[in-house]
Amino acid sequence: MRIVVSGGGTGGHIYPALATVNRLKELEPDTQVLYIGGERGLEKDIVPKAGLDFKAIEIQGFDRSISLNNFKTVYLFLTGTSKARKMLKEFKPDIVVGTGGYVSGPVLYAAQLLHIPTVIHEQNSVVGVTNKFLARKADKVGVAFPDAVSAFKAGQAEIVGNPRAQEVVQGKGDFDWSSLGLDGQKPTVLIFGGSQGALKLNTAMVDAIEKLNMVDYQVIFATGQKRFDEVQSALKEKNITPAQNVAVVPYISNMPQLMPKVDLVVGRAGATSIAEQTALGKPMVLIPSPYVTNDHQTKNAQSLVDANAADMVTEKELTGASLFTAIDQIMSDDNLRRSMADNSKALGVPDAADEFIKLIERVLG
């Protein structure tokens, strides 16, 4: 198979694409792949390091207010489409797959103009602008959330999960609890706000640690590399010392090994994180970021709350007290935690990469 993949801007679009390619190469080692991304997105660094052929085009998103900058956006879309056409004609793919982000717009649109089959993947419960545009002529759409199916034409979208989840479920190795000074036999809460951390979550955690020091379960709090010193200073200022059951660290370098071992996950409601946690069957306390397009993290979180797989605390409601209450309610009730874990697992697709690849292969016949 010869396949072009396009998706970028954020890891939420890039990692599902890479997971799909990695699994496809395991199943069909002769697969030829070209990744077309943006000149300024994270993909320009991540994809070449993954060993894939990479080409870039310049692209940007629309301003949501009336702006002269939108004329440049249109211009870049048209020139990007022209460049993508040339790349596609040279590579001659059997199919073009888009996983979202502005860059996938001109690439898949060029493929549609050339009558090359296209498949898109939507990671969120709320469909992105680019995928809405491309869906008009896409052959098939794979979605991670059931809520997204109704946004597409009847029969066009299928629930396949998020391919990134399969890599986490199949993660190898074990976690060294002694590296954190914790006990691998005790129930554990993992709290993190992403690789960079989340300021409001960190502030709430500083206020919650005194109560968490006294519980009979243990806590891992990853502050984010850039915010670790801030948290340490805040704890010192308040004269708070984490007890033996609370580990405060900048980040977890081997998250795929840790995640299967924890009993509750507290963090943001990004599509990739949710896909990983549901595939593993983890109950969650979700704190959606209010700073994302169309507030899609809140809608992602709400879909899990509706399924009784998660609790949600909005940033507006987030304090040390509300965070502790949400965590302790779940960790102090074994039956509730098991029920939420079962509901979470029912939403997950642990073999999502395989399911998405099957969808791609059905398009090719």
Q: What residues in the chain have per-residue pLDDT under 50?
A: none
Q: What share of the chain is helix, strand, coil (3-state, %, to 5)?
A: 50, 15, 35
301-317 pLDDT, tens digit each: 999 999 999 999 999 99
Q: What are the DSSP calls for 232-250, one per residue?
A: HHHHHHTT----TTEEEES
The annotation places the binding site at 10-12, 124, 195, 252, 297
Only one residue has tokens 């050339």, namely 114
pLDDT for 84: 97
Alpha-carbon separation of residue 102 from 43, 179, 204 (angstroms): 12, 41, 34
The annotation places the binding site for UDP-N-acetyl-alpha-D-glucosamine at 10-12, 124, 195, 252, 297
pLDDT for 108: 98
**Closest by CA position to 164, among listed 355, 31, 303, 297:** 355
Give percent of the chain above pLDDT 70.
96
User: What pTM value is reported for the model?
Assistant: 0.82
Q: Is the dihedral of CA 193, 195, 198, 203 positive or negative?
A: positive
Looking at the DSSP bridge assignments, the partners of residue 158 are: 142
pLDDT for 62: 65
User: CB of 169 within 8 A of CB of 280?
Assistant: yes
Alpha-carbon separation of residue 118 from 40, 76, 80, 156, 361 (angstroms): 24, 21, 17, 12, 11
pLDDT for 241: 95
Only one residue has tokens 């081997």, namely 254
Tell me if residue 192 falls in helix, strand or coil.
Answer: strand
How many other CB atoms are found less than 10 A from the CB of residue 189? 23
Domains and CATH numbers, the chain: 2-162+350-364 (3.40.50.2000), 177-347 (3.40.50.2000)
Q: Please give the Cα distance from 178 to 152 (Å, whole number).
A: 49
Q: In what order do the strands lie in the sheet with 95-98?
A: 53-57, 32-38, 2-6, 95-98, 118-122, 140-143, 157-159
Alpha-carbon separation of residue 27 from 18, 20, 23, 30, 179 (angstroms): 14, 11, 6, 9, 36
H/E element, 121:
strand 118-122
